[in-house]
Structure 1
Amino acid sequence: MDDRTFTADAEPGDRVTVAGWVHEVRDLGGIAFLILRDKSGKIQVKFEKDEMDDDLVETGLGVHRESVIAVTGAVEEEERAPTGVEMLPESVDVLNEADAELPLDPSGKVDADLSTRLDNRTLDLRKDEVKAIFEIRAEILRAVRDYFRSIGSTEINTPKIVATGTEGGTELFPITYFGEEAFMNQSPQLFKQLMVGSGLERVFEVGPIFRAEEHNTPRHLNEATMIDFESAFIDHEGAMDVCEGTLKAAYEAVEENCAEELELLGYDDFATPEGDFPRLTYEEAIERINATGELDTQLVYGDDLSTEAERALGDDVGGHYFITDWPSEIKPFYIQDYDDDPETSKGFDLMHPRMELVSGGQREHRYDALVEGFRQQGLDPDQFDYYTKMFKYGMPPHSGWAYGVERLVMTMLDLENIREAVLFPRDRQRLSP
């Protein structure tokens, strides 16, 4: 429909064709109104029954909600209309009639549970507030990509089908690859490290990862979208600087460009985090968690942080913060340890008060130390020869990290369930749609 006009662009005095979905029909007797909805908004179409062709009125008022129609007519100013204008139809073409019974109400007047919404995601995304989440998600990704480019980072795409896993402790999804066993990749970690040893030096990727962990929580997915960053010639402190920069760039872009979406979602005090994010060592974090008195059992050095511990510390800090200098045994084999303290790693996490957002650190770039890290974590270095051998040929010092996009959206918008931040979630119960 080359001559289509979006409803938001229809001005008094224009003669236009608009196309979209029947949002609502209100019949008041001698006069009736049809509300047509498209991606830009809504427009009121007025039917004056005594002054219009009977077939036109019957077509316009007889069509079911959520049917797809095109309306051609004049646009007039009308202060009482929801958007200040209305159309007087000359023709109504029904492009696709919807069933009279809908599995959920896109107008939002009747609530549906999350499972029903996800089963009917196309209808669910016709609700303005749901659509707003994904407009904000898209703006986050645009802003992050722009930030990466501003610091000289090249976007890459790495394989999602691999021969070996990236992390020993995470379950893998096996697949059959031309008669051989392969796996869906848990992370682009090893590939992005190889790229910092190439002529690219500084890279980022936005793409899917797959983890076969049998969790069933409001903040976990088995397929997620990650924002990965890796750079040569920076240490873990520099990597944290970039990490903080991307998060603030995302918030600033949403604050500046998504006012309408934020209003739809009820955020009247949305603001970009200010100031530098605190950087607590793991040991300091343990002490602060224990001091809150929120846990039944005191943490000791070497414990990982439970959900309850993360929230106790998040409430105490009150904003985004980093945890640095984790015990070596907690972090993956590729995280570098301090030369003068091999029990402590240069790994870090970026935390939101509700949960972990980012895991990162400085990587081990020295071949012998890297191979020893494999052995210490019970992994066979020979299975990763494609990766380790490149460290013999001049691998520079480098650092990086990875965000979960869905967690970033979830925490930014204070969503109750991470599945609200992904179009078609994949978890233990959901493989379709």
Structure 2
Amino acid sequence: MERVYVKEIDFLNGKKTTDRILVKGWIHKIYDVGQISFIQLRDKTGILQLVVDKKLREGLRIEMAIEAMGEVALNQKAPKGIELHVKELKVIGKAYYDVLPFSINNGEVKAHLETQLNHRSISLRSPKIRAPFKVQEEIVEAFSVFLKSQGFSEIHTPKIIASGTEGGSEMFTVNYFETRAFLAQSPQFYKQMMVGAGFERVFEVGHAYRAELHNTWRHLNEYVSLDVEMGFIESEDALMDLEEAFIKFLFQHLEKTCKEELKLYGVELNIINKIPRIPLLEAQKLLLDECGKKSPVGNIDAEGEVLLSKYIKEKYDSDFVFLTKYPASKRPVYTMADGDLEGMTKSFDLIYKGLEVTTGGQRIHDYEELKENMIKFGLRPEDFDFYLEGFKYGMPPHGGFAIGLERITMKILNLDNIRQASLLPRDLKRITP
């Protein structure tokens, strides 16, 4: 007999049936009442109440994996008004623990986050703790569907590389057959190369690595990056237009596919209209005038992001704001200068509920200009011949952006810590499990 998932049983729409069905999952809870027991079976799609005779109940304990066959019946007191009257039950995964590390069947897991992460395969059994990863799955799906509808091609680029894409010391080194190599900070060079190779519009979902000495609620050393690069653009506004359209599409998609997960976190997604676009210098002045907050040179800090988002929410009723026109000194070597503003670039960040979730901008596409900029940054162009080659043969104006998957998941669900949005997080102190 073919297995039926809990969510599929909901589609019976309250109709009683005498047909027997087979379900499989873990024992979530057990309630003994006289000669029968009510067992909550949990699978990846939800929870179903089983009504089990005392004889079938013997030897069962929480978190055992079981399969049960029976008939569906209506019961308003059961979860979603449906239960299964079990005729046959079999243990297919024994449980050998003395005591669970923490309770996972009472809605909220009370254990400290570090304890949850130490026992990740257990904590993820909690429907609420696992919910962010259903949301992540659908973010990636929406990203792919939307960009393909806009003529983008999906690519997969190397994560072991010969040189850094953004410079600096924040790179993990790898011994690659006695040659020093690095883990990629981003696919930046490669996605630009693919634009010039004729793909024109590309995207990638892949891991990125940052050897940053941060141990905060917002940082990971390994994360998933949603990358976009688009050729034949007029300006960075085309990139912001694209991301704005994607976010609208994403929220509509999540409302359709993640109703239960959003409900678990009490989230209602706001309709996305036009996202405000504010030059960095203007944002810094606004923070100083409105909040008395002085910003660091060429940027705004974490506190500034929060204060600015609060102001934007009150004034524009938007959870998002694009910060534009960053100084060249704070942007990577490939960033296009803004001809109208001395020392500034055609770049942007997207701030969402007080946190930067995207960095992007137009790139330098002229070979000689890019070489000259590399020299200004203290780099040797000959070390980047593999990257520069395509620029010799007619590179179109282009640009792109990258969205941090864990960060946007965290902010959509209003999570407290980015590790809650990472399946198996890697941070300054954690490399297992």
TM-score range relative to shorter protein: over 0.9
Note the residue ranges of structure 1 that are not aligned, 5 or more in a row. Answer: 50-56
Any conservation in 2 of the 1:42–1:83 contact (CA below 8 Å)? no
- Indicate yes or no: 2:278 matched with 1:280: yes
Superposed CA deviations along residues 229-270 of structure 1, whole A, max 9, x for unmatched, are: 111111211111111112222122112322221112222x33
Match of 2:372 in 1: 372
- Indicate yes or no: 2:97 matched with 1:92: no
Any conservation in 2 of the 1:313–1:353 contact (CA below 8 Å)? no
Where do 1:114-133 residues align within 5 Å?
114-133=113-132
**What one-letter code is carried by the residue in structure 2 that aligns with 1:314?**
S
- Indicate yes or no: 2:240 matched with 1:240: yes
Q: Which whole-Å CA distance do the structure 1 matches of 2:156 and 2:19 have between them? A: 47
Q: Which whole-Å CA distance do the structure 1 matches of 2:332 and 2:98 have between them? A: 55
Q: Which whole-Å CA distance do the structure 2 matches of 1:186 and 1:23 have between them? A: 41
Match of 1:403 in 2: 403
Any conservation in 2 of the 1:21–1:38 contact (CA below 8 Å)? yes
- Indicate yes or no: 2:54 matched with 1:71: no
User: How far apart are residue 372 of structure 1 and its match?
Assistant: 1.5
Q: State the secondary structure of the residue aligned to 2:79.
A: coil
Match of 2:20 in 1: 15
Superposed CA deviations along residues 327-356 of structure 1, whole A, max 9, x for unmatched, are: 111111100113454512111111123111
Query: Percent of aligned pairs with the same residue?
Result: 39
Match of 1:421 in 2: 421
Q: State the secondary structure of the residue aligned to 2:100.
A: coil
Q: Which whole-Å CA distance do the structure 2 matches of 1:340 and 1:264 have between them? A: 48
Match of 1:323 in 2: 323
Match of 1:361 in 2: 361
Any conservation in 2 of the 1:255–1:272 contact (CA below 8 Å)? no
Where do 1:225-304 residues align within 5 Å?
225-234=224-233, 235-267=235-267, 269-273=268-272, 275-295=273-293, 298-299=294-295, 302-304=297-299
- Indicate yes or no: 2:101 matched with 1:103: yes
Q: State the secondary structure of the residue aligned to 1:425.
A: coil
Superposed CA deviations along residues 259-287 of structure 1, whole A, max 9, x for unmatched, are: 221112222x33232x2111111221111
- Indicate yes or no: 2:187 matched with 1:188: yes
Match of 1:52 in 2: none
- Indicate yes or no: 2:301 matched with 1:306: yes
Number of aligned positions between the proteins: 419
Match of 2:40 in 1: 35
Q: Which whole-Å CA distance do the structure 2 matches of 1:262 and 1:66 have between them? A: 25
Superposed CA deviations along residues 381-419 of structure 1, whole A, max 9, x for unmatched, are: 221111112211111111111111111111111111011
Match of 1:54 in 2: none
Match of 2:316 in 1: none
Q: Which whole-Å CA distance do the structure 1 matches of 2:140 and 2:7 have between them? A: 25
Q: Which whole-Å CA distance do the structure 2 matches of 1:421 and 1:394 have between them? A: 41
Q: State the secondary structure of the residue aligned to 2:333.
A: coil
Q: State the secondary structure of the residue aligned to 2:361.
A: strand
User: How far apart are residue 47 of structure 1 and its match?
Assistant: 3.1
Match of 1:208 in 2: 207
User: How far apart are residue 358 of structure 1 and its match?
Assistant: 1.0
Any conservation in 1 of the 2:197–2:390 contact (CA below 8 Å)? no
Q: Which whole-Å CA distance do the structure 2 matches of 1:105 and 1:403 have between them? A: 34
Match of 1:24 in 2: 29
Any conservation in 2 of the 1:15–1:75 contact (CA below 8 Å)? yes
Superposed CA deviations along residues 81-127 of structure 1, whole A, max 9, x for unmatched, are: 33323333222211111124111222136511111111222222221
Where do 1:124-203 residues align within 5 Å?
124-203=123-202
Q: State the secondary structure of the residue aligned to 2:262.
A: helix
Any conservation in 2 of the 1:43–1:87 contact (CA below 8 Å)? yes
User: How far apart are residue 5 of structure 1 and its match?
Assistant: 1.9
**What one-letter code is carried by the residue in structure 2 that aligns with 1:178?**
F
User: How far apart are residue 3 of structure 1 and its match?
Assistant: 2.1
Q: State the secondary structure of the residue aligned to 1:117.
A: helix
User: How far apart are residue 129 of structure 1 and its match?
Assistant: 1.4
Question: What RMSD, in angstroms, separates the aligned Cα atoms of the two structures?
Answer: 1.7
- Indicate yes or no: 2:427 matched with 1:391: no
Match of 1:349 in 2: 349
Q: State the secondary structure of the residue aligned to 2:202.
A: strand
